[in-house]
Amino acid sequence: MHPLEALGLPAAAMRAYLDLVEHGETTPDGLAGRAGLPPGTMPAVLADLRRLGLVEPHDTLVIPAPPHLAMEALAQQRTREAALARDGAAALAGLWSRGAGRDTYVEILPSPEAARAVLDRVQADVRGQVRAMTVGNLAAPNHTIVNGLFEALARGVAYQVIYGTQVLRDPAALRMVEACAAAGEQARVVPDVPINLTIVDDRWALVAARSSVGGQNRVAALVVHDSPLLAGLVGVFEVFWRMAVPITGDAIGGRTLDPESRRLLSYLSAGLTDESIAREFGISERTVARRISRLQETLGAQTRFQLGVQAARQGWL
C-alpha cells in the first residue's frame, strides 16, 4: 500500500498528486488529462487534496505543496488528534469506572492484613455453610486457625475445607488440621491448591493469591459478591472437592500398616489389575476387592485413586 493511501487518500487523488509532483502545476482540466481522470471527478479529487494540504490555494491553477512540508503538517495534525483521543478515552474510562462502581460485585482489598480481617469476620457472618480451600497463610510463614472457627462449628455451621499437601507438611499445621477435623470440620486434601478461597453461604467469597511480581512476593485479595463469577468459584470448589481425599482427626497420622496390605497397595500403585494381584497372592479376585474396600474405609477414600493418594501421604507407599 502506498503511504498516501494509508492516510486515507483515494486512488484518483493520489494519482493526481503524483502527477503534480512529477510534472508541476497545471489547470484542473490539464491535470485531468495528464492523470487520465474524467473531468467530472476533479472537484472531488481537488477537495481530497486540499483536505490533506497537498495542494496550495489558487483560483485557476492546481499547485502541488512540497511533500515533506505537507506530510509534516499532516503528522502534527494526527498527533494532536491522537492526544485528544487519549484524553477523551481517559475521561470516558473514569466515567465508566464511577458508573460501574455503583453496581460492582468485586471489591479489591488493599492489603493482606485487610484480607485476614475479612477472613476472621467469616465465622460471625456465616449462617450455615463455609466452603474453603487453602494453601495456608499468604501473609506470614506461620499457619493459624481463623478466629471463631470452633465456636461456629459448635453452633452447627458446616465446614468443608480442602488443604493443599504443602500445608500438611508443616507439623504445627498438621496438628491444627487434626484439631479442626476432630471438632467436626469435613477436611480433604489434594496435591496442589492454587489459591485461598472461602465461600460463605454462596453469598460472597474471599479470594487470595500470592505470586512473585518483579522479583517480589505480592499478595492480591478480593471479595466477590453474588454474581456469575461467584457461581464460577463455587464450581471450582466442587471440582476440587470431588478430586480431594477425605481426612479425619484420627486418619491424618500415626497409623501402621501390615506387610500384606502394604504389598497390596504397591501392586495397586503399579497398575496391576485385581486378577493379577489375586494371582500374586494366591487368592480370589473377590478377596482382593474386599481387602481394597477395607483399606478405602480405613482411610476414608471413596475411589482407588483417592486410596493411592492417601496411602502415599501416610508414607505407606
pLDDT along the chain (317 residues), means of 10: 66 87 90 90 89 83 82 77 81 68 76 86 90 74 78 92 78 81 86 87 91 72 91 92 68 61 75 82 90 82 76 66
CATH of the domain at 179: 3.30.870.10
Structural domain count, the chain: 3
Full residue range of the structural domain in which residue 235 is found: 106-247
Is 74 within the bounds of a domain? no
Residue 157 makes CB contacts below 8 A (sequence gap 6+) with 123, 126, 127, 128, 129, 130
In this structure, the answer to whether residues 223 and 113 fall within a common structural domain is yes
Please tell me whether residues 231 and 178 are part of one structural domain: yes
Same domain flag for 275 and 193: no
pTM value > 0.85:
no
One domain, residues 271 and 240: no
Residue 314: predicted pLDDT: 66
Given this model, what pLDDT does residue 317 score?
59
pLDDT of residue 252: 45
CB 217 within 8 A of CB 150: no
- Does residue 146 sit in the same domain as residue 240? yes
Same domain, 271 and 227: no
Statement to judge: residues 29 and 161 lie in one domain = no
Q: Is 236 exposed, middle or buried (0-12, 13-18, 19+ CB in 10 A)?
A: middle
Are 115 and 49 in the same domain? no
Cα(90)–Cα(97) distance, integer angstroms: 11
Domain final residue pick, 215, 247, 279 = 247
Within this chain, do residues 117 and 159 fall inside the same structural domain, yes or no? Answer: yes
